[in-house]
Chain A
Amino acid sequence: MLEIKNLQAQIEDKQILKGLNLEVKPGEVHAIMGPNGAGKSTLASVLSGREGYEVTGGSATFDGKDLLDLDPEERAREGLFLAFQYPVEIPGVNNTTFLKTAVNEIREYKGLDPMPAKDFLKLLKEKQALVELSSDLAKRSVNEGFSGGEKKRNEIFQMAMLEPKLGILDETDSGLDIDALRIVANGVNKLKSKDNAFIVITHYQRLLDYIVPDFVHVLHDGKIIKTGDKNLALELEEKGYDWIKAEKV
């Protein structure tokens, strides 16, 4: 589904990704862990097409298409979803209207007719229940006045509505209390299928108690330096990152 080969990227002349390789297949959950400054969020930004990042080498293909050649909206329409680390507050843009526009622009891209209003509302209710988001929040302006936990739940809610092939969760667990963490993780687990995949970027092992990964990658200095199964995360939690860095050297 996603193939990243020797990806190199920089921001304002500072090299962040230095030859990253990663392959994600349908049905898989990949966790990416690593110390601060390793390049985790840069990876998420480059994959989703955020401005200001320059790809200096390597490739990323998504279902055979050159991902890096697509506009952010085309990536989203192809089925890539980024759950933001810091969801943006957009006063005046209604959550529901925004989602309806998004759903229908994606459908148009796929050559489908707009979703009938009735079906849309049904879907909206169903997915709200999934992430335990009150209908009151869904009607408000996008993220405006939401608490940290509500913003993250709203991200998962949007992901549920858009049903992407690949979901990238950029530190979705940061700033969440235990209950919110459980709700967010439950949401992801319910969305999981043999046809889609997730990349979970996190600092802590805690989230991985709830979303069990098939692979755990350690990102350090712009490269994946170790890959293991879920036990690697437990080991990291216990020992920190230094032993891997030392091993690498």
Chain B
Amino acid sequence: MSTFKYIANFVEGFKSNDWNLKTSEGVDFPTRKTEYYKYTSLKKLSTQRFASISSKVDARKVFEGLDDYATVLVFVNGFFDASQSKGLTDQVSVVSKLDSCPAFLTSQKNVDQLFTSMNNRFATDGLVIDLKGVLKQEVLVLNILDASGMASFTKNSIRLDKNAQCSVVYKTISTGQNLEQFSNNYFEIELSDNAILWFYNLQNGTKALNLIEQVESHLSAGANLHYFCISKAGKLVRNNINNKITAPSAEVNLYGIMLGEQGSHIDHHTLVDHDTPHTQSNEIYKIINKEASTSVFNGKVLVRPDAQKTNAYQSSSAILLDDASNVYAKPELEIYADDVKCSHGSTTGQIDKEALFYLQARGLSKTTAKKMLIEAFLTEVTDLIESEKAGVLTSQMIQEYFS
């Protein structure tokens, strides 16, 4: 494996073939002309040199309530920190020095994507859950990013055996306010028959964070994925959440909240591939934008010819708090079966002025009233968070958004 050293500019780095991606894997650098990156320009990435930097951070100082978790895995700049982690077992562990595990690396799908290829090449450590049975304790994973110009790559794998269940809280934290950083994380999720996974992805970026994540999930019969992701701030945040259902009665639930501020660019791309009859998917995304920020929701539902009786639901709604902010919402339904129920809805608007006045007329300040209305707008998603701890952490991020 080669270590990610630096490159002054992502585009140039790619073109100069320092990363050896182009020739070996046939990757192309996406531009705005690439449909998949139509609303998200990668030019934002190009202003800073990034390098792999190891660092020491006291996890307790950046995350309150660490002791409430029995199982904690701490990664700092993409490197596993054993001294601050606890509760590891043969079922919940880490893979270190990925270069010694070629099989693990090459199992990645979608290597035609730039960032998965980069991850493939540069990933250092990662979380590995290989679970049988029900894990009652919630697993906390901290992705701590420290130092300016830092680039980190992790590759994570969650495999649940038949009837296994677990809940993971994954939180990204930047230590400094304006440190330009690049974090790239890949998640492979494999759910066997009737397995259930709750995954809470909490992306608490600062305005200089570049965060690119990819989820590839595969569901067997009766399996259930609950994937929740909240993104706050970040210079460039891109989530690709790809799901494939290949056996009946499986269900994919994707819930997201995007809180754009300070010129951030947040993009959630989802794909649910229904490849078998009698499966279900639900997607609900809530978007708030202020301070000249931009959000993108692109949700694709693919119903293949054999996937009769598919039930797919998708909705995205956005509130723009100022004129300088933008939202791009693009639902894509590709349906090749004829006996299916698929629906999608997308709305973009402002705060309901009449409701705002109603609350003010009862003595609430405009700020309190606005906050109350926005929280109400988000409840459709926040109500679906089953983990109490993830609920509290989400609520903290929403409070921070208002302060």
**Could you list which residues of chain A lie within 8 angstroms of chain B, going by C-beta atoms?**
48-51, 71-73, 75-77, 81-82, 84, 87-88, 90-93, 98-99, 101-103, 105-106, 109, 141-142, 158, 162
Interface-side segment among B37-45, B212-220, B287-295, B361-369 = B361-369
Bound Cα distance from A50 to B359, whole angstroms? 12
B353 & A92 in contact (Cβ 8 Å cutoff): no
Contact of A92 among B361, B362, B365, B375 (CB under 8 A): B375
A149 and B377 CA atoms in complex are apart in Å by: 26
Q: How far is the CA of A49 from the CA of B366 in the complex (A)?
A: 13
B343 is an interface residue with CB less than 8 A from chain A: no
B376 A93 Cβ-Cβ under 8 A: yes
Is the beta-carbon distance between A102 and B377 smaller than 8 angstroms? Answer: no
A93-B376, A98-B372, A101-B372 given; A88·B364 CB < 8 A: no
Among all A-B residue pairs, the 8 with the closest Cβ atoms: A92-B376, A76-B363, A72-B360, A102-B362, A88-B358, A106-B363, A92-B379, A73-B360
**Contacts known (A50-B357, A72-B357, A84-B358); A92 close to B364, Cβ less than 8 A:** no
B365 touches A105 (CB 8 A): yes
- A49 contacts across to B, CB distance below 8 A: 360-361
B92 within 8 Å of A (CB atoms): no
Please name all residues of chain A whose beta carbon is closer than 8 Å to the beta carbon of B352 when the two chains form the complex: 88, 90
Are B373 and A76 interface neighbours, CB within 8 A?
Answer: no
- Check if B363 sits within 8 Å of A162, measured CB to CB: yes
Residues of chain A within 8 A (CB-CB) of B377 are 92
Bound Cα distance A84, B359 (Å): 12
**What B residues does A88 contact at CB under 8 A?**
352, 354-355, 358
Q: 22 A–B contact pairs at CB < 8 A?
A: A50-B357, A71-B360, A72-B357, A72-B360, A73-B363, A81-B361, A84-B358, A84-B361, A90-B373, A92-B375, A92-B377, A92-B380, A93-B372, A98-B359, A99-B362, A101-B372, A102-B359, A103-B363, A105-B365, A105-B368, A109-B363, A141-B376
Given contacts A90-B376, A92-B380, A93-B376, 6 further A-B contacts (CB under 8 A): A75-B361, A88-B355, A105-B364, A105-B365, A141-B376, A162-B362
A residues near B366, Cβ cutoff 8 Å: 71, 73
Q: Are A51 and B357 in contact, CB atoms less than 8 angstroms apart?
A: yes
Contact of B361 among A48, A91, A99 (CB under 8 A): A48
> Are A77 and B358 also in contact (CB < 8 A) when A91-B376, A93-B373, A93-B376 are?
no
Within the complex, what minimum Cβ distance (angstroms) separates A190 from chain B? 20
Known: A88-B358, A90-B355. A73 touches B364 (CB 8 A): yes
Please tell me if the beta carbons of B365 and A73 are within 8 angstroms of each other in the complex.
Answer: yes
Please pick, from B358, B375, B376, B379, the residue contacting A87 in the complex, using a CB distance under 8 A: B358
- Nearest-CB distance from B113 to chain A (Å)? 37
Contacts of B379 in A (CB 8 A): 92
Q: Are A158 and B362 in contact (CB under 8 A)?
A: yes
Q: How near does chain B come to A110, taking the closest CB pair, in angstroms?
A: 10
Which one of B357, B362, B365 lies within 8 Å of A98 (CB-CB)?
Answer: B362
Q: CA separation between A71 and B367, bound complex, in Å? A: 12
Interface residues of B in 106-122 (CB under 8 A from A): none
Residue among B355, B358, B364, B380 facing the most chain A CB atoms (10 A cut-off) = B358
For residue B353, which residues in chain A have a CB less than 8 angstroms away from its CB?
A: 51
**A-B contact count, CB below 8 Å?**
73
Alpha-carbon gap, A48 to B353, bound state (A)? 15
- With both chains docked as a complex, state the minimum distance between the C-beta of B251 and any C-beta of chain A, in angstroms: 25
Bound state CA distance, A101 and B360, in angstroms? 11
Chain B residues within an 8 Å CB radius of A101: 364, 368, 372
Q: A51-B353, A72-B357, A88-B354 are in contact. Are A102 and B376 (CB under 8 A)?
A: no
Contacts of A99 in B (CB 8 A): 362
Closest Cβ neighbor of A91 among chain B residues? B376
Is B361 within 8 A of A76, CB to CB?
yes
Using CB atoms, name the residue of chain B closest to A92.
B376
Q: A51-B353, A98-B372, A101-B368 in contact; A90/B358 too (CB < 8 A)?
A: yes
- Tell me the bound Cα distance from A142 to B379 in angstroms: 14
A248 to chain B, nearest CB (A): 33
Q: What CA separation (Å) do A92 and B374 show in the bound complex?
A: 9
Complex Cα spacing A46 to B82, Å = 65
- In angstroms, Cα B187 to Cα A51, docked, is 49
How far, in whole Å, are A139 and B368 apart by their CA atoms in the complex? 20
Residue of A nearest to B376 (CB): A92
A51 to B357, CA, bound (A): 8
Rounded to whole Å, the gap between the CB of A9 and the closest CB of chain B is 16
When each residue 378-389 of chain B gets 1 if its CB lies under 8 Å from chain A and 0 otherwise, what string results?
011000000000
Q: Chain B residues near A71 (CB, 8 Å)?
A: 360, 366
Q: Which residues of A are found within 8 Å of B360, using beta-carbon distances? A: 49, 71-73, 76
* Residues of chain B from 51 to 105 with CB closer than 8 A to chain A in the complex: none
CA of A101 to CA of B368, assembled, Å: 9
In the assembly, what is the distance between CA of A147 and CA of B192, in Å? Answer: 48
In this complex, what residue of B is CB-closest to A89? B355
Among A75, A87, A105, A109, chain B packs the most CB atoms within 10 A around the CB of A105
Q: Which among B357, B360, B363, B368 has the highest number of chain A CB atoms within 10 Å?
A: B363
Contact at B375–A76, with CB atoms within 8 Å?
no
A82 contacts which chain B residues (CB < 8 A)?
361
Question: Known: A90-B376, A92-B375, A93-B373. Is A102-B354 also a contact (CB below 8 A)?
Answer: no
For residue B372, which residues in chain A have a CB less than 8 angstroms away from its CB? Answer: 93, 98, 101
Q: How far is the CA of A158 from the CA of B353 in the complex (A)?
A: 20
A90 to B353, CA, bound (A): 11
What are the residues of chain A within 8 A of B357 when measuring CB–CB?
50-51, 72
Quick one: which of B354, B359, B361, B375 has the most chain A CB within 10 A?
B361
Complex Cα spacing A77 to B364, Å: 9
The interface residues of chain B lying within 8 Å CB-to-CB of A158 are 362
Report the Cα distance A48→B359, complex, angstroms: 12
